[in-house]
C-alpha cells in the first residue's frame, strides 16, 4: 500500500486495494489461478503444490488458503455449471467416462460429461448408478451416449448408446495379449 504526498497541494493520499485484494497480504489472481491449475487440473497434492509455490515465490501459502481459492472458484462457477448442464442435455451426442481419484486416502470418482466444447466434471464418492442418478445428467439425457462397455451406462433406456473407440481398442488389446 503506497502513501504519497502531492507536490503541489501537499495533500497525503493513501492508495486502496483492488476489490479482489481486500487486505495487506493477498495473493493476486495470477497466483490464485496457478494454484488452482496445480490442484484442480494437474492434480498435484496440496503439500507438493505448496512446496512448488514456495520454490517460485519464496512464500509459504497455507493449505487452507489454497483450498479457499478452489472454493471461491467453485462458487463463482455455479451458474456456469447450470448452463453447461442444460447445454449438454440438448446435444445430440455426449461422451461420458469416469476415473478414480484418491481424496484423503479415500477413493472418489470424477464423472466426466462432454459434448459441443463443454467438459463438465463432477466428483462423487460412488462410481455407479447411484452417482449417475445424483449427478442427474444421464437420467435426463435423450441423445446418444458414447461410453465404455461398463454395464451401468446400459441401464439407461432414455438415450441411445455408442461405444467409445479408444475403450474398445483397449479392451481388444487386453483380449489379444
Domain boundaries, the chain: 3-76, 78-176
**Residue 1: what pLDDT?**
60
Task: Locate the DSSP E strands across 6-80.
Answer: 12-14
pLDDT block averages, 10 residues each, the chain of length 177: 84 78 75 96 94 96 96 95 98 97 90 97 95 98 96 97 92 75
Task: Locate the DSSP E strands across the chain.
Answer: 3-5, 12-14, 93-103, 106-115, 118-124, 144-147, 160-163
Cell of 172: 481388444
- CA 41, distance to chain mean position in Å, is 7
Amino acid at each position: 500500500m503506497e502513501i504519497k504526498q502531492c507536490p503541489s497541494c501537499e495533500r497525503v493520499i493513501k492508495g486502496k486495494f483492488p476489490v479482489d485484494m481486500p487486505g495487506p497480504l493477498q495473493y493476486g489472481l495470477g497466483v490464485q489461478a496457478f494454484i488452482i491449475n496445480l490442484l484442480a487440473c494437474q492434480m498435484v497434492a496440496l503439500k507438493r503444490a505448496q512446496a512448488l509455490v514456495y520454490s517460485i515465490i519464496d512464500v509459504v501459502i497455507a493449505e487452507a488458503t489454497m483450498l479457499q481459492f478452489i472454493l471461491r472458484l467453485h462458487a463463482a462457477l455455479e451458474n456456469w455449471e447450470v448452463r453447461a448442464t442444460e447445454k449438454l442435455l440438448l446435444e445430440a451426442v455426449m461422451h461420458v467416462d469416469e476415473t478414480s481419484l484418491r481424496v484423503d486416502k479415500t477413493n472418489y470418482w470424477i464423472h466426466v460429461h462432454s459434448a459441443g466444447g463443454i467438459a463438465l466434471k463432477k466428483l462423487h464418492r460412488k462410481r455407479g448408478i447411484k452417482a449417475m442418478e445424483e449427478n442427474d445428467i444421464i437420467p435426463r439425457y435423450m441423445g446418444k451416449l458414447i461410453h465404455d462397455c461398463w454395464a451401468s451406462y446400459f441401464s439407461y433406456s432414455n438415450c441411445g448408446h455408442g461405444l467409445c473407440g479408444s475403450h474398445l481398442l483397449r479392451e481388444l488389446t487386453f483380449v489379444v495379449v
